[in-house]
Amino acid sequence: MFDVVVVGAGPAGLVLASELRLHGVDVLVLERDAEPTRIVRSLGLHARSIEILDQRGVLDRFLAVGTQHPVGGFFAAIPSTPPERLDSAHAYVLAIPQPTTDRLLAERAVELGAEVRRGVAVVGLEQDAEGVTLALDDGTHRRARYVVGCDGGRSTVRRLLGVAFTGEPSRTETLIGEMEVGESPETVAAVVADVRRTQLRFGVGSLDGDEVYRVVVPAEGVAADRSVPPTLDEVRRQLRAVAGTDFGVHSPRWLSRFGDATRQAERYRVDRVLLAGDAAHVHPPVGGQGLNLGIQDAVNLGWKLAAAVAGWAPDGLLDSYEAERHPAGADVLWSSRAQMELMSTEPGARAVRRLVTELLAYEDVRRHLTEKITRTAVRYDLGGEHDLVGRRLRDIGLARGRLYALLHEGRGLLLDQTGRLTVAGWADRVDHVVDVSEELDVPAVLLRPDGHVAWVGEDQEGLAATLSRWFGAAA
């Protein structure tokens, strides 16, 4: 029996596997596809996900193959300058195609000891008081104490659980692919600039100067089955309809389609089975938040599930995953749907877009909307009166280094500027670092493994109560 089986080897599943392995959990990842996809559904990582990679000591691997860009202009593709006061040491977007992100995350999971099996699909699921039995399409079964469905918007795990996926169906569809073009770069750029004055769901752009272009164009309607890719003739037809030319496109690397459905699982947990990533929520891809939201689900869930496996999880800890991440997911759904409306060609939507564009001249508005995209302002309702409680703490400089370098092992952390506190009884789960920072104006902070602040103060009794709440009984 495995401790945990993760279904789906996308970003959420791979990050979750790595988080579990940091705590010694026996993990098997099952992936239906025999080979990693070449389809580039995501083009980059936002600040909060970059922070997570930094907290785990692997950011350099991603920086080495990515390109940093300013964070402005991502809300509904409205041009704007970056906010001046984004609360992050990584106030940039890291451009990196999803297949590369998937590869690096898979390498990390395997490096930490996770087993990844490809070409195996789940076809059945039964759970009891002791664990979960998965039936696979090769006729075998796998048994685990817990199962997490990270298997995408058409999640088999969610369907087998009978969890409702409520929301709005797709009203529009977009064709996307990578292919060569027959027109000159100057002609392509001129046509694109003209079309995008009104049609923001359109784009044809070279990939880092390569002869291959990324093509995005509205579809004629909504396909009955979006798992069936469009044909090159369909892409050509839509390019002519929208742009007046098909640019002589040919030799596609891959073709795909996506809709703008907005749906969320009503529950993220049913006993020993949980949902994360696109299995828990889907939304329009504007703003590039889907991959990032899944990574953040995984980091919230990982340490909590590991605590349940290890037996020290306090009452309600595993349920706090849904309590915290369901509202966070819902916020992204609302934000992405609003952005889709602002990108509409309808007169009313264009009028509202013009108004929002004017509002983006104000620094507070730019910062607020950028925080919506980057998720740097997420605050969980953890109780407590201090404004830091529930928020993630950005990387800060310490007298002997920096904060995120202390979070590589995925444990809790007491950063103590007083030198008078102790985590005795929880030292197997929480690190205690006595150090000072000019950037932190509180006596001490207790960080959960996901980097969110659980407690602020200098009172040992209050600290002990918070340690018990999040890290179980003292040893």
The CATH number for 457's domain is 3.40.30.120
Q: Is residue 246 part of a domain?
A: yes
Distance CA 61, CA 45 (A): 13
The predicted model gives 217-235 an average pLDDT of 91
Q: Do 458 and 416 belong to one domain?
A: yes
184-206 residue pLDDT tens: 999 999 999 999 998 999 999 99
Largest CA distance in the chain: 72
Q: Do 46 and 161 belong to one domain?
A: yes
464-473 residue pLDDT tens: 999 999 999 9
Q: Do 153 and 70 belong to one domain?
A: yes
The confidence score (pLDDT) of residue 72 equals 80
In degrees rounded to 5, what are phi and psi of residue 324?
Answer: -90, -40
Give the alpha-carbon dihedral of 381, 384, 388, 390, to 10 degrees: -20
Q: Which domain holds residue 207?
A: 173-259
SS (H, E, C) 165-214: EEEECCCCEEEEEEEECCCCHHHHHHHHHHHCCCCCCCEEEECCCCCEEE
406-442 residue pLDDT tens: 999 999 999 999 999 999 999 999 999 999 999 999 9
Last residue of a domain, one of 227, 259, 291: 259
Residues 6+ apart with CB under 8 A from 189: none
What is the count of structural domains for the chain?
Answer: 3
The confidence score (pLDDT) of residue 313 equals 97
Q: Is residue 213 part of a domain?
A: yes
**pLDDT band at residue 227 under the 50/70/90 scheme:** confident
92-111 residue pLDDT tens: 999 999 999 999 999 999 99
**pLDDT band at residue 238 under the 50/70/90 scheme:** very high
Quote the percentage of the chain above a pLDDT of 90. Answer: 89
319-368 residue pLDDT tens: 999 999 999 999 999 999 999 999 998 999 999 999 999 999 999 999 99
CATH at 106: 3.50.50.60
- Cα-Cα end-to-end distance for the chain: 27
Q: Is residue 428 part of a domain?
A: yes
Quote the percentage of the chain above a pLDDT of 70. Answer: 100
Distances (CA, A) of 45 to 36, 66, 288: 19, 9, 8
The confidence score (pLDDT) of residue 31 equals 98
CATH at 208: 3.30.70.2450
Degrees to nearest 5, angle at CA 252 with 249 and 256:
110
Asked if pLDDT for residue 223 goes beyond 90, the answer is no
Q: Is residue 385 part of a domain?
A: no
Asked if pLDDT for residue 245 goes beyond 70, the answer is yes
Give the chain's count of helices (H) and strands (E): 12, 24
Q: Do 152 and 288 belong to one domain?
A: yes
In degrees rounded to 5, what are phi and psi of residue 4?
Answer: -140, 135
Q: Do 106 and 187 belong to one domain?
A: no
**pLDDT band at residue 287 under the 50/70/90 scheme:** confident
Q: Model-level pTM? A: 0.95
**pLDDT band at residue 288 under the 50/70/90 scheme:** confident
* Side chain identity at residue 433, one-letter code: V
Q: Is residue 380 part of a domain?
A: no
SS (H, E, C) 333-396: HHHHHHHHHHCCCCHHHHHHHHHHHHHCCCHHHHHHHHHHHHCCCCECCCCCCCCCCCEECCCC
Last residue of a domain, one of 341, 374, 407: 374
Q: Do 364 and 429 belong to one domain?
A: no
The confidence score (pLDDT) of residue 392 equals 97
Q: Is residue 386 part of a domain?
A: no
Q: Do 356 and 429 belong to one domain?
A: no
Asked if pLDDT for residue 398 goes beyond 80, the answer is yes
Last residue of a domain, one of 216, 231, 259: 259
Q: Do 427 and 303 belong to one domain?
A: no
Q: Do 113 and 141 belong to one domain?
A: yes
Residues 6+ apart with CB under 8 A from 450: 299, 300, 302, 303, 392
295-305 core/surface letters (b: 16 or more CB in 10 A; e: else): bbbbbbbbbbb
Q: What is the residue-averaged pLDDT of the chain?
A: 95
Strand 173-180 and strand 250-259: pairing?
antiparallel
Distance CA 3, CA 29 (A): 11
Given a contact cutoff of 8 angstroms between Cβ atoms, the answer to whether 236 and 217 are in contact is: no
The confidence score (pLDDT) of residue 387 equals 94
22-49 residue pLDDT tens: 999 999 999 999 999 888 888 899 999 9
Distances (CA, A) of 262 to 128, 160, 219, 267, 355: 32, 21, 18, 16, 25
Strand 281-282 and strand 412-416: pairing?
unpaired
Given a contact cutoff of 8 angstroms between Cβ atoms, the answer to whether 241 and 289 are in contact is: no
Strand 27-31 and strand 115-118: pairing?
parallel
Q: Do 191 and 51 belong to one domain?
A: no
72-83 residue pLDDT tens: 878 998 989 999
Given a contact cutoff of 8 angstroms between Cβ atoms, the answer to whether 283 and 292 are in contact is: no
Distance CA 218, CA 259 (A): 10
Asked if pLDDT for residue 209 goes beyond 70, the answer is no
Q: Do 294 and 148 belong to one domain?
A: yes
Which of 123, 199, 147 lies closest to 3 in space, CA to CA?
A: 147
Q: Is residue 115 part of a domain?
A: yes
Q: Do 147 and 295 belong to one domain?
A: yes
Q: Is residue 36 part of a domain?
A: yes
